[in-house]
């Protein structure tokens, strides 16, 4: 039997950021990846402290942004790369009322650090009512982040490229096949529905599509444009536009109505020709109260769940990986707001 401290099941933001906590604390572990494109890999990579519909912020936004920056610097120390793209969100205003609301909200203590008071005009895209800049917003270079982390995990023998087989887990003895583990942390996103130990947690799928498009006229490269959805350049010359939200059409194929919605949304702000080159979709694990679900199994004290990252996989995944680590290793209680106990 090989002795390890942790098993991690799942390779999205939850699994990767938890793996980082183990790396920085010198814990031994293996991470199971079934090799499917995760919702995390399909995500836009937006890091955003503001709810852009209502111009509000959310619980611990500043702390989460600061912690993410610190964590990405730590990750850079072993992958050698920076994944934070300093390309702030510019929210296109629909009308003057939105401009007024933005300015009013920018006086608010919670929002003054995020809502820039000076409006900008962008070239090429339609922004008759200008744009508001979200200070401290940025983007993660999603593909590089995952390619490099998989590479690092593989080189250090932390990665097992297999679907984790729940029937082979003996929680009482802390064994899985030839592994003897102290703790197992389940980070499967919507895959958790197949996990017999945590299948009852209150996450619901919200399907998101994005398109990658070829634009006939280049748009400003140093900003992330947002009206209905996000628009920004990727590293292969294509532009990302997305993502949609859908709680109803949950089949595992591309939904043409989502593609139409995206094409229409992009046409509204981009007055030139474009071609759709790629369509991708994923399932966000969402929770009614919009907070993650973190907890320990009621009977098996060595099994944990880390899920419900919702639409903010990066900030939630990064910040709460540390809370979970401290809960397991240092007995520091989880915040009630994210504890799985709140549903009991």
Ligand X SMILES: Cc1cc2nc3c(=O)[nH]c(=O)nc-3n(C[C@H](O)[C@H](O)[C@H](O)COP(=O)(O)OP(=O)(O)OC[C@H]3O[C@@H](n4cnc5c(N)ncnc54)[C@H](O)[C@@H]3O)c2cc1C
Cα gap 9→192, rounded to integer Å: 10
Chain-centroid distance of CA 144 in Å reads 14
Cis omega (within 30 of 0) for bond into 235: no
Q: Which stretch binds ligand X (CB under 6 A): 29-37, 94-102, 112-120, 254-262?
A: 29-37
Cβ 234 vs Cβ 240: under 8 Å: yes
150 binds ligand X (CB under 6 A): no
Nearer to ligand X, 174 or 282 (CB): 282
Q: Which of 90, 91, 105, 284 binds ligand X (CB under 6 A)?
A: 284
- Count of beta carbons in the 10 Å neighbourhood of residue 306: 32
Candidates 91, 105, 210, 296: give the one binding ligand X (CB under 6 A).
Answer: 210
Distance between CA atoms of residues 80 and 148, nearest Å = 9
Quick note: the x/- pattern for ligand X over 310-329, rule CB under 6 A, is xxxxxx-x------------
Query: From start to end of 99-244, where are the E strands?
Result: 131-133, 138-140, 159-160, 169-170, 175-176, 179-186, 204-215, 224-226, 230-233, 239-242
Is 131 a binding residue for ligand X by CB under 6 A? The answer is no
Nearer to ligand X, 129 or 152 (CB): 152
Measured in whole angstroms, the distance separating CA 31 from the mean position of its chain's CA atoms is 18
Binding mask 174-193 for ligand X (x = CB under 6 A): -------------xxx-x--
Measure Cα distances from 342 to 51, 184, 326 in Å: 24, 21, 19
The Cβ of residue 82 has, within 10 Å, a number of other Cβ atoms equal to 13
- Nearest residue (CB) to ligand X, 62 versus 112: 62
Kindly state the smallest distance separating residue 115's Cβ from ligand X, in Å. Answer: 19
Please report how close the Cβ of residue 263 comes to ligand X at its closest, in angstroms. 15
CB of 157 to ligand X, least distance (A): 17
**Rounded distance, CA 293 to CA 256, Å?**
32
Does residue 60 touch ligand X according to CB under 6 A? no
Q: Contact between 297 and ligand X (CB under 6 A)?
A: no
Structure tokens at 286: 């969402």
Quick one: which of 91, 94, 97 has its CA closest to 48? Answer: 91
Can you tell me which of 49, 233, 243, 295 binds ligand X, judged by CB under 6 A? 243
Minimum distance of ligand X from residue 100's CB (angstroms): 27
Shortest distance in whole angstroms from residue 210 CB to ligand X: 5
Q: How far is the CB of 46 from ligand X (least distance, A)?
A: 3
Residues that bind ligand X (CB under 6 A): 9-15, 32-34, 36, 38-40, 42-46, 163-164, 187-189, 191, 208, 210, 242-243, 282, 284-285, 307, 309-315, 317
């Amino acid at each position: 039997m090989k002795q390890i401290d942790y098993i991690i099941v799942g390779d999205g933001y939850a699994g990767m950021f938890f793996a980082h906590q183990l790396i920085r604390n010198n814990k031994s572990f293996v991470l199971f990846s079934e090799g499917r494109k995760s919702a995390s890999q399909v995500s836009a990579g937006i890091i955003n402290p503001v709810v852009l519909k209502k111009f509000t912020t959310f619980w611990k936004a500043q702390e989460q942004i600061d912690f993410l920056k610190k964590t990405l610097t730590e990750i850079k120390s072993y992958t050698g790369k920076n994944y934070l793209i300093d390309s702030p969100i510019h929210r296109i205003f629909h009308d003057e009322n939105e401009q007024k609301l933005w300015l009013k909200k920018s006086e608010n203590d919670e929002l003054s650090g995020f809502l820039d008071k000076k409006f900008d005009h962008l070239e090429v895209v339609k922004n008759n009512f200008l744009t508001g800049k979200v200070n401290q917003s940025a983007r993660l270079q999603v593909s590089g982040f995952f390619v490099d982390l998989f590479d690092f995990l593989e080189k250090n023998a932390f990665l097992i490229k297999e679907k984790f087989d729940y029937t082979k887990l003996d929680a009482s003895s802390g064994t899985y096949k030839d592994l003897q583990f102290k703790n197992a942390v389940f980070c499967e996103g919507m895959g958790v529905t197949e996990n017999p130990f945590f299948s009852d947690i209150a996450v619901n799928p919200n399907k998101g599509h994005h398109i990658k498009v070829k634009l006939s006229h280049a748009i400003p490269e140093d900003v992330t444009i947002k009206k209905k959805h996000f628009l920004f350049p990727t590293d292969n010359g294509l532009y990302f536009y997305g993502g949609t939200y859908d709680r109803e059409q949950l089949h595992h194929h591309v939904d043409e109505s989502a593609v139409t919605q995206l094409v229409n949304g992009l046409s509204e702000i981009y007055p030139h020709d474009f071609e759709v080159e790629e369509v991708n979709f994923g399932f966000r694990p969402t929770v009614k109260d919009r907070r993650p679900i973190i907890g320990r199994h009621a009977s098996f004290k060595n099994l944990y769940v880390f899920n419900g990252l919702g639409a903010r996989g990066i900030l939630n995944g990064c910040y709460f990986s540390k809370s979970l680590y401290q809960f397991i290793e240092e007995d520091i209680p989880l915040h009630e707001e994210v504890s799985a106990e709140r549903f009991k």
